[in-house]
Amino acid sequence: DTIQIKYRKDFQTSSQEYESLTDSDAEYVYREFQVAAIVSFPYMYDCNRTLYPLLITRDACVKEIAPQSSIQCMYLEGKENSSQQQDALERKLIRLGSQNQDISTRSLIGEKQQNEMFYYKQMVYIYGITGLVLLLMLLNLANHLRYRMQIRSKEICMLRAMGLSISMTRKIFIFENLLLALGGELLALGLLWPALNQVYKASEMEAFSHSFTFPLAAFSGISGGILVICGLLSSRILKLWKTREIARGIGRPE
């Protein structure tokens, strides 16, 4: 895309006519440029005020957009201090920037606090939904394991008729259930990692110094807990299959 701009040929932009857009007798020069990037300036109130927008980005992005540019961006992140210390740091940075007319400074403390407030609020919703889904998953897991045992009654009876002990039968089915749970966890890991990375990019959290890190340790802990619960549920369900139940299934006519 291209954009066309105009500016006064004599660069006399301090007149009242220029500010009010009424200098119709002035000579303007038109130029057409190729659009390399689109940057939003929410703090630029209107075009009639002499308020120059500030480009908030990384220095690498500036070099990529304009390799020959002499603009250099520096991003400074302070420690988590009290509000009084943050205000003092903000005033100091503004004072340092005002000493040189070629330097512009802007504080992102307010924007960062507001962004983190929405971030933590969203995380509360996510944790609540996750807890509810985990509870429903455990209920469904117990019903699913019980259903798998019911539909495999004939298989259990055949294994017992072939001389397989009850303890060995239990170990086989517990091992199968654990493999099923492990496969579901690996599938969840493969789906969650790119999904969370996409959400991180869409939320633009990198602009507020939040790097993307997948909670692998927490995921491993939850996965291990689910495997333990799956093993306990399987063992509890298998205890209901006594020798008399299996013998009854063997003697049941087809």
Q: 166-178: per-residue pLDDT in tens?
A: 778 778 888 888 8
CA 253 vs CA 53, 97, 154, 163: distances in Å: 86, 92, 12, 20
The whole-number pLDDT of residue 248 equals 53
Q: What mean pLDDT is reported for the chain?
A: 74
How do the domains of the chain map onto residue ranges? 76-107, 114-251
Q: How much is the average pLDDT of 10-24?
A: 81
DSSP 82-141: -HHHHHHHHHHHHHHHHT-TT------HHHHHHHHHHHHHHHHHHHHHHHHHHHHHHHHH
The whole-number pLDDT of residue 55 equals 52
Q: Are 113 and 213 in contact (CB under 8 A)?
A: no
Q: Grade residue 70 by pLDDT with cuts at 50, 70 and 90.
A: low
Specify the higher pLDDT residue, 89 or 32: 32
Q: What percent of the chain has pLDDT over 90?
A: 0
Q: Are 86 and 109 in contact (CB under 8 A)?
A: yes
At 8, phi and psi to the nearest 5? -65, 135
Distance (Å, whole) CA 85 – CA 105: 18
pTM comes to 0.49
CA 56 vs CA 5, 204, 229: distances in Å: 22, 13, 49
- Candidate from 12-26, 61-75, 235-249 with smallest mean pLDDT: 235-249
Paired tokens of 15:
């007149």
In the block, residue with structure tokens 């807990």: 225
Distance (Å, whole) CA 75 – CA 88: 18
Q: What is the pLDDT of residues 185-231, one digit of tens each?
A: 888 888 888 888 887 777 766 766 667 888 888 888 888 888 888 88
Q: Are 41 and 49 in contact (CB under 8 A)?
A: no
If you average pLDDT over each of 33-42, 100-109, 179-188, which comes out highest? 179-188
CA 25 vs CA 17, 21, 28, 221: distances in Å: 10, 11, 9, 74
The whole-number pLDDT of residue 218 equals 84
Distance (Å, whole) CA 176 – CA 152: 13
Paired tokens of 222:
């939850």
Paired tokens of 116:
């983190």
Q: Are 229 and 138 in contact (CB under 8 A)?
A: yes
Q: What is the pLDDT of residues 88-128, one digit of tens each?
A: 877 887 777 777 766 777 667 776 777 777 777 777 777 78
The whole-number pLDDT of residue 50 equals 45
